[in-house]
Structure 1
Amino acid sequence: MPSARPVVPTADGPTGRNAPWPLLRCFCAATGAVLLADGLALMALGYFSVGVTVPAALGAAGSLLAWRWHAVQAWLGRAAPRRRLWRMGWGLFLLWALSVAAFWAVLARQMGGHGPAAIRPAPQAILVLGSGTSQGQPSPALRERLDKAREVALAYPQAWVVVSGGVDFGETLSEGQVMGNYLRAQGLDARRILQEERSTSTELNLRYSLPVLQAQGLGPDAAVALVTSDFHTVRAQRIARKAGYTRTVPVAAPTPLYIRYNAWLREYFAFAAGWVLNEL
């Protein structure tokens, strides 16, 4: 008769084929499935930011680990250094996850902005930061920013409206052009809309918009309503100060729920990159 498959004891309990699933394997399977489904769904909608691809990669890794759990445990059981690396890897992952949670907690407390009626002093310009386009149309997040900017523009009819953004990968129209087209289609006076069409980052949005403002007699000390997504207001304000703006007031546009936490994760990496590059 064939011998029974051996049961190899580990820190998570027996790992034979008929053994109960250890908690860590269950965590990998459940979390991996959720993250992978989230990433694939958003990719199918055209989202490929780091806030989408990182969860998708983590989900794929977790699902693969849960599927090949017995093989991985057998491989670990052959050498003590492997087990130490395994525990170290999980420890580092836990520290990273805790840092993301801490960042999100701080972001949730600090993010936000003023509504149109609360902007003081009255803005001389309304600067809308770009946020991606698709086939000549604003992304859902960018549409929220533009709708909020239009609301502010109607409340302050004397203010210029600057839309800022360059050409997306695979696109022929700049974000600035798409944003201007959207606002004009929504009935905003075309004579008020100024387009900046070279920038490819928040820092460049702000830097390249300065000459556009200066052409209208406004400098870095002009009162500017800075319109962006709610989670982005904290970093945008810091970059604006670094770029020389002295009187910006953040105006927060809501982030669609289905991309909210992916956007928060992207902001985590953006804050880290901004700190490394001395942009904040």
Structure 2
Amino acid sequence: MLKFTPTLMLQAILLIIGLVLMIDCALLIAADKINFGTVVPFFIGLIFAIHAVFWQSILVFLNHHSWLKNISKALWIGFGLWLVSFIIFAITLQYNIEKSQTPLQPVDAIIVLGGGIQNGVPSLTLASRLDTAAALIKQQPEAVVITSGGIGIGETRSEAEAMAQYLYALQNVPLQHVVQEAHSTSTEENFLFSQALLQQHGVSLSDPIAIVTSDFHIPRAKAIAHHQGYDNLVTLASPTPLSIRYNAWFREYFAYISGWLLGEY
């Protein structure tokens, strides 16, 4: 009879977590969702699974190479510290999502941030942003509406155009009511390139402006916008589909660090 020891329990936990991560990420990668939020967790899951299956062999090998054993310990300690930082990030993100407000006061402009298209069609994430934005657009028809997003790799039209067409076809928002910012390739550029369009329509950065983006993206988007001088922001968060929610959080963790290192906020 197999004796269920603490080591065997740890192996079982590592194997289960590893397989869940690998299967989840493999399905998303197969659907062309290749980014930090899918690739990094896949390799973490692979490492977990390998450790679970070859636990004893790895221990024997490390015991014969003490310097590798020390490196292995340092890597696991580093991973533990990183995991703590990610948990803190996730808790903070959840708090910000819960307190994101639904615009009630009038706004002079509505900026809908791009979130990816596939074969010219908005992704699930972007469709959620557009559906959320549509309600506000209809509620405040006098506000300037900007769809912001350039042409992605392998695409033939901009996100801004795909977004405007989606709003027209599925939400009955007239095309002439939407201003397209079709050159940006990042959140920083979304706000930077939208400034000229706002100015053309008589909207200053001190006027009330609503930004519509995914719930997980709100904190970083606000920080970038504030850094550029948008000082009267109203945020409208769209729900992230459950199938990609936690992978999106993982990707956002790295994006937040990257934005800080690049001085975006």
* Identity, % of aligned positions: 38
CA distances 1:189-213 after superposition (whole Å, capped 9, x unpaired): 2221000011011000000011111
**Do the aligned residues in 1 keep the contact of 2:150 with 2:181 (CA within 8 Å)?**
yes
1:86 CA displacement: 1.9
1:150 CA displacement: 0.6
CA distance in 1, matches of 2:256, 2:219: 10
Q: What is residue 139 of structure 2 aligned with on the other side?
A: 155
The 3-state SS of whatever aligns with 2:110 is strand
1:239 to 212, 217, 224: 224
Normalized per residue, the structure richer in helix is 2
**Do the aligned residues in 2 keep the contact of 1:160 with 1:192 (CA within 8 Å)?**
yes
- Larger-Rg structure: 1
1:19 CA displacement: 9.4
**Do the aligned residues in 1 keep the contact of 2:116 with 2:126 (CA within 8 Å)?**
yes
Instruction: Establish whether residue 196 from structure 1 lines up as the match of residue 181 from structure 2.
Output: yes
1:48 CA displacement: 1.0
CA distance in 1, matches of 2:172, 2:16: 48
CA distances 1:50-104 after superposition (whole Å, capped 9, x unpaired): 1111111111222222233232112111133222222221111111111100111
Instruction: Establish whether residue 130 from structure 1 lines up as the match of residue 114 from structure 2.
Output: yes
The 3-state SS of whatever aligns with 1:22 is helix
TM-score (norm 2): 0.93
The 3-state SS of whatever aligns with 2:206 is coil
1:101 to 68, 83, 87: 87
Q: What is residue 242 of structure 2 aligned with on the other side?
A: 257
Letter in 1 for 2:153: F
CA distances 1:19-39 after superposition (whole Å, capped 9, x unpaired): 965333223211110100110
Letter in 2 for 1:48: I
Letter in 2 for 1:73: L
Q: Which runs of 5+ in 1 are unaligned?
A: 1-16
Per mean C-alpha deviation after superposition, the further-off stretch among 50-59 and 19-28 is 19-28
Q: CA RMSD in A?
A: 1.7
Instruction: Establish whether residue 63 from structure 1 lines up as the match of residue 69 from structure 2.
Output: no
The 3-state SS of whatever aligns with 2:203 is coil
CA distance in 2, matches of 1:256, 1:88: 36
The 3-state SS of whatever aligns with 1:249 is strand
**Do the aligned residues in 1 keep the contact of 2:19 with 2:49 (CA within 8 Å)?**
yes
CA distance in 1, matches of 2:73, 2:3: 25
CA distance in 1, matches of 2:261, 2:72: 29
**Do the aligned residues in 2 keep the contact of 1:113 with 1:250 (CA within 8 Å)?**
yes
2:100 to 101, 113, 116: 113
CA distance in 1, matches of 2:76, 2:162: 45
The 3-state SS of whatever aligns with 1:207 is helix
CA distance in 2, matches of 1:221, 1:137: 33
Total equivalences in the alignment: 261
